[in-house]
Each structure stands twice: as C-alpha cells, then as structure tokens.
Amino acid sequence: MTLTWSPLGDSALVLNLNDPGVEAQRQLHWLAGQLAGKAELLEAVPGMGNLTLLLKAPGADLDALAGHCLALWEKRPAQSHSGKLHLLPVRYKGPDLHLVAEYTGLTEEEVIARHSGTTYEVAFVGFMPGFAYLTGMDRRLAVPRRAEPRVQVPAGAVGIAGSQTGIYPRQSPGGWQIIGYMEQPLFDVTREPPALIQPGDQIRFEVRHD
C-alpha cells in the first residue's frame, strides 16, 4: 500500500492511497491528527482513502509539505484506532422500511436487526455540515435510491442508498430510503467541534420502541 500525492491548485494537495481498507482509513485519520497544528496548514480533510491538505495561504512549498507527510506515513502505527464510539438511539419507523424489507426479501424485524447489529465506522464527514459517511453496513441491506427523491427529508432521518447508510443532519431534499429517525442533533453550531460524529468515530444504532 503506497501513499502518493498531487497538488490541488496552489494552496492544497491531495494524498492518495492506492489500496485503501478499513485499517488504512484509520491510519489516514491518525496522519490527519499528526498534522493538526502544523503552522502553515489550515486543515486536513479526510476523504475515502485520501486526505486533502489545505494551506493557510498560497505559496508554501508543497513538495516539502508532501515530503513531511510521506515521512510521517512511514512511521504510522499498525493499530491506530482512536475514534469515539457513539450509541445512537433510532426509532425504526421510517416510511421506506417496508420497501427495504420487500426488496431484500427480509422481514422488517430482520432489516432492523441487521441495521442495528453492526458497528459502523465513519470514513469521513462531508456533503453537508455533519454528514458522516459510514462504512460497514450489512450487504444484504443494499437497496437502490428512490426513483423520485423526496422534496423534504427531516433532520435525523436514517437512510439507505445502495450499500451506504447514513443520517441526514438537517432537513433537505433526499433520495435515500428512510428506515428510521434519531433525535439527537448531529450538528450544533454552538458545540466544539460542531459535528457530533467525527471522522474515524464508530457508531452503533440502538433500537428504540417508544
């Protein structure tokens, strides 16, 4: 597994892994943590098997920065997990639960058991404030997106799209199949950091019946 890099304009660069897996993603989060506080760096943004580094101002030596990152990468620990585990209560009463059951050939109870019976890992946060990209969903639960996206999906909606699952941090249009809802706000501008779920964290959904 090798880490390569390329410039992204004159004020950013992208580090890329050629063969990412769960452990490599954890090591990228470790690298992002190591780079936090580096003087010329504004931030390190994890993607899926990649890390984008943004400079505070254009003009710094990207080659030197990349060299520093590649040297750090060589020192990465074999086991590097340091994320937080969140237990998120979900009411599995979404309007598409029956559809997911029908499509997958499972009962609604089996869909709920499989969705809540997994520990998910946050690959990265993006798309909208507080939106976490989760890995680790049971493959049996994969379903296509809705043919026609809903105009409004409420905040806290838990959905499935293809082999991905996730939670809408705020009300928005959306095409994911909604299987449940959670109440805890995912993004709060008064919180530090504002996103409840951070890159590298782990998540378990707990079934709530009330």
Structure token digits, residue 108: 């609604």
Q: Identify which range of 14-22, 74-82, 106-114, 137-145 contacts other proteins by CB under 8 A.
A: 14-22
Structure token digits, residue 137: 């969903």
- Which residue among 1, 22, 64, 128 contacts other proteins (CB under 8 A)? 128
Q: Identify which range of 3-11, 89-97, 103-111, 138-146 contacts other proteins by CB under 8 A.
A: 3-11
The nearest distance, CB 194 to other proteins, in angstroms, is 6
- Which residue among 26, 30, 50, 176 contacts other proteins (CB under 8 A)? 50
Q: Does 159 bind other proteins (CB under 8 A)?
A: no
- What are the C-alpha distances in Å from 113 to residues 108, 117, 118, 201, 206? 9, 6, 9, 21, 10
Q: Identify which range of 108-116, 176-184, 191-199, 202-210 contacts other proteins by CB under 8 A.
A: 191-199
- Report the C-alpha gap between 176 and 174 in whole angstroms: 6
**For every residue of 130-160, which 3-state class applies, written as one string?**
CCEEEECCCHHHCECCCCCCEEEECCCEEEE
Q: Please, where are the H alpha helices in 3-77?
A: 22-35, 62-74
- Which residue among 28, 97, 111, 130 contacts other proteins (CB under 8 A)? 130
Rg over CA atoms, the chain = 19
Q: Does 6 bind other proteins (CB under 8 A)?
A: yes
Q: Residue 104 or 135: which CB sits closer to other proteins?
A: 135
Q: Does 185 bind other proteins (CB under 8 A)?
A: no
Summarize the chain as % helix, strand, coil (round to 5): 20, 35, 45
- Report the C-alpha gap between 120 and 38 in whole angstroms: 30
Q: Does 120 bind other proteins (CB under 8 A)?
A: no
Q: Residue 23 or 110: which CB sits closer to other proteins?
A: 23
- Specify whether the CB–CB gap between 167 and 132 falls below 8 A: yes
- Report the C-alpha gap between 129 and 191 in whole angstroms: 13
Q: Does 161 bind other proteins (CB under 8 A)?
A: no
Q: Residue 91 or 129: which CB sits closer to other proteins?
A: 129
Q: Does 144 bind other proteins (CB under 8 A)?
A: no
In the complex, the residues that contact other proteins under the rule CB under 8 A are 6-12, 14, 16, 20, 32, 42-52, 54, 57-59, 62, 124-131, 133, 169-170, 187, 189, 193-195, 198-199
